[in-house]
Amino acid sequence: MALIEIRGLIKRYGGVVALNGVDLTIEAGEVHAVCGENGAGKSTLNRILAGSVKPDSGHILVNGQPLNFGSVAASEAAGIAMVHQESAAFLTLSAVENHQIMREPSLAGGLWLDRAEMKRRTIASLAEFGETFDPSVSLEFRSLAQRQMVAISRAVAGDCRLLILDEPTASLSSRETDALFSAIRKLKDAGVAVLYVSHRLDEVFALSDRVTVLRDGKWVATQHTARTSHEKLVQLMVGREVTFADPVESKIAQTVLEVKNLTSEGQFHNISFQVNAGEIVALAGLVGAGRSEVARAIMGLDSLDSGEVRVEGALIHKDAIAKGLALVPEDRQHEGLFLPFSLRDNMALAARFAHGGWIDRDGERANSQSFMESLSIKAASDLAPASSLSGGNQQKVLIGKWLATHPKVLILDEPTRGVDVGAKAQIHQLVRELAAKGVAVLVISSELSEVIALGDRILVMRQGRLAGELSRAEATQDRILKLALHQKGEAVIASQHHRGMPRELGVGLLLLAMLVAATAMNRSFLSVENVRDMLVKVAPAIIVGCMMTLTILAREIDISVGALMGLCAATLGIACSPDRMGLPVAVGIGMCLGVGLLGGAINGLLVSRAKVPSIIVTLGMLTILRGITELAMGGKWIEHLPDGLRQLGTGAALGVPFSVWMAGFFVLIGFWITRRTRFGLQVMALGSNPSAAALRGIPTGRVTLGVFVLTGVAAAVAALFSSTQLQVIESGFGNGFELVVIASVIVGGTSIRGGSGTIGGTVLGATLLGIISTTLIFLKLGESATYWERAIQGGFILIAVLGDHLGRRKLGGAA
């Protein structure tokens, strides 16, 4: 019986059929390659197997058992694991967390993570691939290859019977590729099946036992690799024959691009070379050797420590495009194209068709239509959004965008990455034609065959330096590799990333300085009474701040907390006050917490279900809740709270007020959630990379709902302990508190972009902001200083934000 049997799989997206009745059988212990042009349905097939996409019809049998569709957990339980492309990593999380998320060893169902065991498992798993780096550092400080290794080792750890690899070598060096291949062979020997998706046919032939070709969502053929050929596969994929033109010897003219002594600390060093008109120079090297960085520096996109770039003798200074330089970057989605924009707009953006700032619409139309024809771009019209095109056509649009600038120098960074075979040949042909027209071309590529096929000269980079130059006649794959690979005894380039100083440090120092100054002025600043009063003052901000930290970690924000606190306090007062409903205290507390829970849940549902951005949801809720509070209070304040209730706000245990105990409790809860629970890890992952979180099967909707509910409950608790400190509850209670809380979290170093931040930082931030006004009173700066208080507070927030930001930037290098 086959390990996996796929029968009649159909998947439609609206009117588009992505998979149209695919049948496939995978045996245990085989490497099964899947080939096809972009849009052939490979990714959809992978995703169905991995459980992140649900098919419309068809079924999959694993060892004869039907697979439960649409659940990553079910697929993993059936032994199917997938290595996603590098964009699916959680960069702000550590390697351990990336490796272990969704399968964390824990007690009590995710309520207490066993972090030591998580680390042990990760180290053991990485060791199988010969990796020995410290896995507790954030992945953003790791190389692309190391990130990939984390993903692969994660996939095969545990009871894996089918491993799906989607373009696994795209960012690996050949040494790492070798390590990966030997790992795959080891898995194969252990009886694991591997589904291997790649555009690199060399790898398919080196590795696979059988190969299946898909075209337009349909199965075309499955063949034994040993009994087929390169040409045959290409023909099956494209549906016709493809010919790669032979390189033509081009005539060398005068120098156009001149790069001299380019240096950027930690990236590349002393790079000098020239490219002549009509010449194609290939820049080879391993991923991470600094090739793309050099390209960006030439374009003036990154700052340089030294060196200069000249085009036809003219020095480039922030005017690269105007002087005739063009860069086709490697990442189409994030560097190359505006996916929601039309082809026409995309191809007009760099060239700027304009008369004195006014857009020249006729020029743009003529431009895009001529390129659609000359580059044979397949699209409905030039007004179709770029996102509707296949990868190869997108790449052609990207090249067209830069050709429109009439470049003298064209730099192409991985021009055929993720492009199918047919388009690849066309792109090669195009590059040669451009050179023939006199354009100086620099091609960066990790594919040795491409380097050799295109380059008149080949430059090889290693560790940020130019390691050597080969002419077309000298160039062989072996020679290039020898230059590209790290030599024994050579100094390794300093790691470009450092771990920044702990975020809390700056805020902590500022806080300390303030405490020292105030105490020096007035000893009674540290008196028992004042310390207690200050703690009581910051307690509500800490209670809400801890949960707001979770919300911001999840890349959301809640600006309705102040208004929610107001409504919670009003509810409590109206329920318990003998002048109003006079209900028992316990009922009032329950209602107060219930309102908090409900408010948080409404926010959470609107964000997670209706997908409305949280700032809009909570902005709307902010005003709605305020209005409800005003109407409920009916123009009167709550004047009498029962004594039992007042105890919450005024009572103390062991000399410490209840509200301070509660703040301490929330800090512990916050630490516990962020450090020790599965939920906390999911919050961090969601904030770090939302789309990756969905791919990993993290229940993103539930996590989002969770953080808002927790924030709502925290607002209710803060209202409970803070409003009962006072005898009178006014309708304006909690007004503007959201700004205090958000400022506390941010000053404490939590990133507004989600995924990184700590509870400790929030506590320091809340304390710092909370006691500024007390400190100013103690400093006795006189009457007029009162008027400057708000300015001083604003200044402190600014200093904290900037200090943290600049400190991190300096230490973090160009990160």
Binding to another protein (CB under 8 A) within 277-336 occurs at 299, 301, 320-321, 327, 329, 334-336
Q: Please name the helix (run of DSSP H) or strand (run of DSSP E) that holds residue 361, with its range, or none.
A: helix 361-374
Question: Shortest distance, CB of residue 265 to another protein, whole angstroms?
Answer: 19
In which residue are the tokens 């960074």 written? 413
Task: Please report, as residue ranges, which positions from 636 to 665 form the binding site for another protein (by CB under 8 A).
Answer: 636-637, 639-640, 650
CB atoms within 10 A of CB 739: 14
Q: What is the DSSP string of 414-453?
A: STTTT--HHHHHHHHHHHHHHHHTT-EEEEE-S-HHHHHH
Residue 276 near residue 256, CB atoms below 8 Å = yes
- Note whether 795 binds another protein by CB under 8 A: yes
Q: Does the footprint of another protein cover residue 612 (CB under 8 A)?
A: yes
Taking CB under 8 A as the criterion, the residue among 109, 189, 358, 655 binding another protein is 358
The span of 133-141, 280-288, 634-642, 695-703 binding another protein (CB under 8 A) equals 634-642
How many angstroms separate the Cα of 213 from the Cα of each of 3, 37, 183, 320, 601? 19, 9, 24, 43, 48
Q: Which one among 516, 656, 806, 811 touches another protein, defined by CB under 8 A? A: 806
Buried b / exposed e along 102-138 (16+ C-beta atoms within 10 A):
bbbebeeeeeebebeebbebbbebbeebebeeebeeb
- Which of 191, 340, 502, 582 touches another protein (CB under 8 A)? 340
| Total residues interacting with another protein, rule: CB under 8 A | 107
**End-to-end Cα separation, the chain, in angstroms:** 51
| One of 21, 29, 620, 701 touching another protein (CB under 8 A) | 620
Structure-block tokens of residue 155: 């996939």
Interatomic CA distance for residues 296 and 451, integer angstroms: 20
In angstroms, give the least distance from the CB of 8 to another protein: 21
**Using CB under 8 A, which of the segments 150-158, 182-190, 207-215, 618-626 binds another protein?**
618-626
Subset of residues 731 to 790 that bind another protein, contact rule: CB under 8 A: 731-733, 735-736, 739, 742-743, 746, 752-753, 773-774, 777-778, 780, 783-784, 786-790
Q: Please, which residue, 706 or 749, has the CB nearer to another protein?
A: 749
655 CB contacts (<8 Å, ≥6 apart)?
none
| Binding letters toward another protein, positions 8-27, x by CB under 8 A | ----xxxxx-----------
539, 775, 782: which is closest to 657 by C-alpha? Answer: 539
The interface region with another protein, picked from 134-142, 214-222, 270-278, 725-733 by CB under 8 A, is 725-733
Q: Considering the rule CB under 8 A, would residue 28 count as an interface residue with another protein? A: no
Does position 630 interact with another protein (CB under 8 A)? The reply is yes
Residue with Cβ nearer another protein (485 or 605)? 605
The residue within the footprint of another protein, chosen from 205, 341, 661, 671 (CB under 8 A), is 341
Length of the chain: 815
Q: How far apart are CA 809 and CA 815, in angstroms?
A: 7
Contact 80, 49 (CB under 8 A): yes
517 is an interface residue for another protein by CB under 8 A = no
Q: Which stretch binds another protein (CB under 8 A): 116-124, 268-276, 469-477, 630-638?
A: 630-638
Q: Which is nearer to another protein, 234 or 439 (CB)?
A: 439
Residues 532-561 close enough to bind another protein by CB under 8 A: 533, 536-537
Residue type, 501: M
54 belongs to the binding site for another protein (CB under 8 A): no
618 near 709, Cβ under 8 Å? no
Spatial contact of 284 and 484, defined as CB atoms under 8 Å apart: yes
Residue 64 in contact with another protein, rule: CB under 8 A: no
701 near another protein (CB under 8 A): no
